[in-house]
């Protein structure tokens, strides 16, 4: 017998008889088919379902068998808040930048005056181009006479020759004061020893026409027309191309040579900027020299005009003497031949006509002298005005501070980007390059949306916070509200990039100053629209509304239940709202709406 280890007897088993081995075909064992992609996807979906079920079971709250315990658990999971008495302020937040109410803007000067060099040339004022000749001719005529023509008429010939010389040499406009007429009137005795009566009579016949043409001049404007401004012999007229006034030059460039550092505090009258003015100083020296030379030339012209006036008066005296002499010659005609008597009578008539012509020319000669003098005065005044403009231009190129304050530099487009103006920049006329601001008059420039502008009032209090100084907060108040709205441009002041959203500019004045506040700082402004010092405050998320009942309501905790109460609301800020009626201080309200199982009533 066989025994187990425990000692119990084990029944014996008879061995099976072995079968004889016979040859046969061995068939391969079939393998299970491989899983396809569809089966693999199914397995993944099944695993995801099982994982989701396990997660749902794990997150599902455990349910207790008691109904009272279920209500207590649901009530304990609702967030709550306590009704408090606190101040509430309704605010409106704006963004803006700092600025100054009192400031002075410095702009590049506009250079005045002509740009051409012709205006700086000295004026050579001359009364007449033949005055010197007239004076010398008068001197010669007073010192001697012409050759005698015949016995008994030598004195007449010498006197008449002096009239011809003085008249032909001192006329204006190229023809003199009746030069042709005087020459014809005084040819009673030929210079070469004799003259035919036909030539003398022909000369006297054209005396009147020659005198008129000589008086009016070649241009029909008088004997001094050529010497006026714009004439052939005069200076250039005002506004002409030679007088300048056209394009600019190197002397009118505005290049900053000296510039004060930005952020510096300056006093009134202190030099803050200076342009390169070397060319303008040279221009001023040229003008001073030309004006001095023009003044000297003007005095010379006045002297020449006085000489010409006296020379004309002398011609009149000489003509009068010739007339009296011819009258004496007429008394000697009884002892002369008929031909000689006729010549003396004709000479007397010519002398009388010449004398009358010179007397008639006096007023025209005076008018010509006055016109020349006035024209020279105008030209000299123009040169003096240009000198004053040049002096003013030199002074404009040195910029001084008009007020006490802080310097703030403007920006310029340089090298493909905007940069602060600095020394060496070339500016264009009328460009603002600096501001001098009064630090004691800082303001805030902001903008408000058109939807909120109806809440704005002058005098509203505000709290200003500075992005550059997070710990700095200053009080301010509204001092100005814009009358016109502007489209939002998406810039710093705009809260919207849409051009259809209108914004109104507003300005606030700081009630308290700080030395750190400078212009162009970005700020945020909280306007205090309404304020209540002691208000029964409830959190905003504790107030509920639904479409069926527009009135607001809250859930107040009453023991282990939630009581639904309708409330009347007041002002609100971003966190809490004032409750006028419906709750009391110290009560607990729900911040989340209780579930139906909490039995709200």
Q: Where are the domains of the chain?
A: 80-86+532-598, 118-251+277-396
Q: Residue 29's pLDDT is what?
A: 56
Q: How confident is the model at residue 212 (pLDDT cuts 50, 70, 90)?
A: very low
pTM value is 0.51
Q: Please give the structure tokens belonging to residue 591.
A: 């911040």
Those residues whose C-beta lies under 8 Å from the C-beta of residue 205, and which sit 6 or more positions away, are: none
DSSP for 265-327, please give it: EE-TT-EEEEE--HHHHHHHHHHHHHHHHHHHHHHHHHHHHHHHHHHHHHHHHHHHHHHHHHH
Q: Residue 392's pLDDT is what?
A: 93
Residues 113-136: b if buried by 16+ CB within 10 A, e if exposed: bbebeebbbbbebbbbebbebbbe
Q: What percent of the chain has pLDDT over 70?
A: 66
Residue 62 has pLDDT above 70, yes or no: no
User: Rounded to whole angstroms, how far apart are CA atoms 583 and 588?
Assistant: 9
Q: How confident is the model at residue 599 (pLDDT cuts 50, 70, 90)?
A: low
Q: How confident is the model at residue 180 (pLDDT cuts 50, 70, 90)?
A: very low
Contact 198, 214 (CB under 8 A): no
User: Rounded to whole angstroms, how far apart are CA atoms 292 and 195?
Assistant: 53
Looking at residues 179-208, what average pLDDT do you find? 38
* CATH code at 80-86+532-598: 2.40.420.20
- Which of 126-135, 248-257, 434-443 comes out lowest in average pLDDT? 126-135
- Taking the alpha carbons at both ends of the chain, their separation in whole angstroms is 88
- DSSP state, residue 513: -
Q: Residue 531's pLDDT is what?
A: 86
Looking at residues 120-147, what average pLDDT do you find? 49
Which residue's structure tokens are 């008394």?
A: 331
Residue 260 has pLDDT above 90, yes or no: yes
Contact 182, 350 (CB under 8 A): no
Those residues whose C-beta lies under 8 Å from the C-beta of residue 6, and which sit 6 or more positions away, are: none
């Amino acid at each position: 017998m066989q025994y187990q280890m425990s000692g119990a007897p084990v029944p014996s088993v008879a061995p099976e008889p072995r079968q004889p081995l016979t040859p046969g075909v061995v068939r391969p064992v079939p393998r299970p088919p491989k899983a396809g992609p569809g089966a693999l996807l199914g397995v993944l979906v099944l695993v995801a379902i099982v994982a989701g079920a396990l997660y749902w079971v794990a997150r599902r709250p455990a349910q207790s068998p008691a109904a009272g315990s279920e209500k207590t658990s649901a009530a304990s999971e609702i967030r709550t808040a306590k009704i408090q008495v606190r101040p509430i302020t309704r605010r409106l937040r704006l963004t803006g930048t700092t600025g100054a109410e009192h400031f002075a803007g410095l702009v590049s000067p506009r250079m005045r005056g002509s740009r051409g060099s012709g205006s700086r040339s000295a004026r050579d004022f001359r009364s007449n181009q033949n005055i010197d000749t007239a004076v010398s001719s008068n001197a010669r005529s007073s010192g001697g006479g012409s050759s005698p023509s015949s016995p008994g008429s030598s004195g007449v010939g010498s006197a008449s020759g002096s009239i011809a010389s003085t008249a032909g040499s001192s006329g204006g406009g190229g023809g003199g004061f009746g030069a042709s007429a005087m020459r014809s009137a005084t040819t009673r005795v030929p210079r070469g020893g004799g003259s035919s009566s036909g030539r003398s009579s022909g000369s006297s016949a054209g005396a009147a026409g020659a005198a008129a043409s000589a008086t009016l001049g070649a241009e029909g404007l008088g004997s001094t027309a050529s010497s006026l401004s714009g004439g052939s012999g005069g200076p250039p007229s005002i506004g002409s191309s030679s007088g300048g006034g056209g394009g600019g030059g190197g002397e009118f460039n505005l290049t900053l040579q000296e510039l004060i550092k930005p952020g510096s505090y300056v006093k009134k009258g202190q030099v803050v900027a200076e342009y390169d003015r070397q060319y303008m100083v040279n221009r001023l020296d040229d003008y001073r020299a030309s004006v001095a030379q023009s003044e000297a030339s003007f005095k010379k012209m006045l002297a020449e005009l006085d000489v010409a006036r006296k020379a004309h008066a002398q011609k009149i005296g000489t003509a009068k003497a010739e007339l009296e002499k011819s009258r004496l010659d007429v008394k000697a005609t009884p002892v002369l031949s008929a031909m000689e008597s006729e010549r003396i009578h004709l000479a007397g008539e010519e002398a009388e006509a010449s004398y009358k012509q010179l007397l008639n020319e006096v007023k025209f000669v005076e008018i010509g002298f006055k016109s020349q003098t006035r024209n020279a005065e105008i030209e000299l005044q123009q040169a003096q005005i240009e000198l004053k403009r040049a002096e003013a231009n030199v002074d404009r190129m040195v910029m001084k501070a008009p007020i006490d304050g802080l310097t703030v530099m403007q920006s310029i487009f340089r090298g493909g980007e905007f940069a602060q103006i600095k020394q060496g920049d070339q500016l264009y006329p009328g460009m603002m390059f600096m501001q001098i601001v009064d630090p004691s008059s800082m303001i805030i420039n902001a903008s408000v949306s058109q939807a909120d502008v109806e809440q704005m009032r002058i005098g509203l209090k505000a709290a200003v916070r500075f992005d550059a100084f997070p710990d700095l907060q200053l009080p301010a108040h509204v001092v100005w509200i814009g009358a016109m709205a502007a489209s939002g441009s998406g810039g710093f002041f705009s809260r919207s990039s849409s051009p259809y959203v209108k914004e109104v500019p507003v300005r606030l004045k700081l009630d308290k100053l700080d030395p750190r506040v400078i212009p162009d700082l970005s700020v945020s402004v909280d306007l205090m629209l309404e304020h209540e010092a002691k208000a029964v405050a409830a959190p905003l998320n504790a107030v509920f509304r639904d479409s069926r009942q527009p009135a607001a309501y809250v859930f107040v905790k009453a023991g282990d239940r939630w009581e639904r109460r309708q409330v009347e609301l007041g002002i609100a800020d971003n966190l809490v709202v004032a409750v006028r009626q419906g709750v009391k201080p110290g009560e607990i309200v729900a911040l989340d709406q209780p579930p139906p199982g909490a039995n709200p009533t």
